[in-house]
Amino acid sequence: MARTNTFFWYDLMTSDPQAAGAFYANVVGWTLEDWPGDMPYTMVKAAGTGVGGIMAIPDEAKAVGARPGWLGYVKVDDADRAAAAVTAAGGSIQREPEDIPHVGRFAVVCDPQGAVFMMLAPTEPDQPGVPLMTPGHVGWHELYSSDPQKGFAFYETLFGWAKADALDMGPMGTYQLFADSRDKDCGAVGGMMRLPEGVPVPVWGFYFAVEAIDAAVERITSGGGRVLMPPMEVPGGSWIVNALDPQGAHFALVAPKR
């Protein structure tokens, strides 16, 4: 099972769930499965294991200008206690804790700089944990923040995350890697950096793992998506690409080879 205080589920809220599902099934290799609940929700799976879901943007979110985008869930033991800890650490509550029948209790929150994420205390057994670069799963987590140092301090206080290596990115500042545990043997699972040009507000981004980046780029473009930058090799030898899906949601891919 996924460890407490780690990202473990990812939802896409979009203007066209059916079209988005078909796009990602082709690009990432997911299978799609309708959730048997009252609200239309499509679960996405990689090799039979749940990764996240796709749903229409809720009306209340549309009313405040929400656009298509991915949101990540951090697993917690108690959603109410975790929400109180968010405000105590300087964050804010966007949606108070409430129950999802047969799933758990969740809350929508922001860190002090405004990046939105969710927390979920599952009531049912969750999906098993998988190694970081398993195809179809999230291989990297990235926070774009107006103040990465204060942002890291917030997550360290809230979830016990630990700093790993820091990379000097020149004019773009420091790229701070983080581990989701204070265990010294736990490797980095993501990075935090200052808002780059073209990213207007603090936000979490997620890199889905695929087997090879060039073939995935072809699937993005042929499926109606748009590549925002050409494939780039990153420290450690992996290849990444950032893109927009046909509905305008940002996503990224990571692969061990080009």
- Summarize pLDDT for 84-105 with one digit per residue, the tens: 999 999 999 999 999 998 899 9
Query: How is residue 233 written in tokens?
Result: 């090799």
* CATH 2.120.10.30 correct for 7-122: no
Cβ 178 vs Cβ 162: under 8 Å = yes
Q: What percent of the chain has pLDDT over 90?
A: 79
Per-residue pLDDT, averaged over 162-172, amounts to: 89
Domains 7-122 and 138-255 are alike in CATH topology: yes
Q: Which CATH superfamily is domain 138-255 in?
A: 2,3-Dihydroxybiphenyl 1,2-Dioxygenase, domain 1 (3.10.180.10)
Return the minimum-mean-pLDDT range out of 21-30, 39-48, 185-194, 247-256.
185-194
SS (H, E, C) the chain: CCCCCCEEEEEEEECCHHHHHHHHHHHHCCEEEECCCCCCCEEEEECCEEEEEEEECCHHHHHCCCCCEEEEEEECCCHHHHHHHHHHCCCEEEEEEEEECCCEEEEEEECCCCCEEEEEEECCCCCCCCCCCCCCCEEEEEEEECCHHHHHHHHHHHHCCEEEEEEECHHHCEEEEEECCCCCCCCCCEEEEECCCCCCCCEEEEEEECCCHHHHHHHHHHCCCEECCCCEECCCCCEEEEEECCCCCEEEEEECCC
Kindly state the helix (H) or strand (E) to which residue 99 belongs, with its residue range. strand 92-100
254 pLDDT higher than 90: yes
Domain boundaries, the chain: 7-122, 138-255
3-state DSSP helix/strand/coil percent for the chain, to nearest 5?
Answer: 20, 40, 40
Residue 38 pLDDT > 80, yes or no?
Answer: no
Average pLDDT for 66-73: 95
Q: Is the pLDDT of residue 16 over 80?
A: yes
Instruction: Report residue 110 as tokens.
Output: 């922001």
- How wide is the angle at C-alpha 192 spanned by C-alphas 130 and 171, nearest 5°? 140
Residue range 196-220: mean pLDDT, rounded: 95
21-25 mean pLDDT: 98
pLDDT classification of 25: cutoffs 50, 70, 90 = very high
Compute the distance between CA of residue 228 and CA of residue 34 in angstroms, rounded to an integer.
31
Percent residues over pLDDT 70 in the chain: 97
- DSSP states of 123-138 as a string? SS--PPP--TT-TTSE
CA atoms within 13 A on the CB side of 101: 5
pLDDT tens, position by position, 171-204: 888 999 999 876 656 789 999 999 988 888 999 9
Q: Strand pairing of 104-110 and 92-100?
A: antiparallel
Residue 143 has pLDDT above 90, yes or no: yes
Q: 197 or 75: whose pLDDT is higher?
A: 75
Q: Write the pLDDT tens digit of every residue in 113-141.
A: 999 999 999 998 766 778 888 999 999 99
Residue 25, SS3 per DSSP:
helix
Q: Which amino acid would we find at residue 156?
A: E
Q: Encoding tokens for residue 61? A: 């979110």
Looking at per-residue pLDDT, the higher value among 252 and 133 belongs to 252
Q: What is the pLDDT of residue 58?
A: 87
Residues present in the chain in total: 258
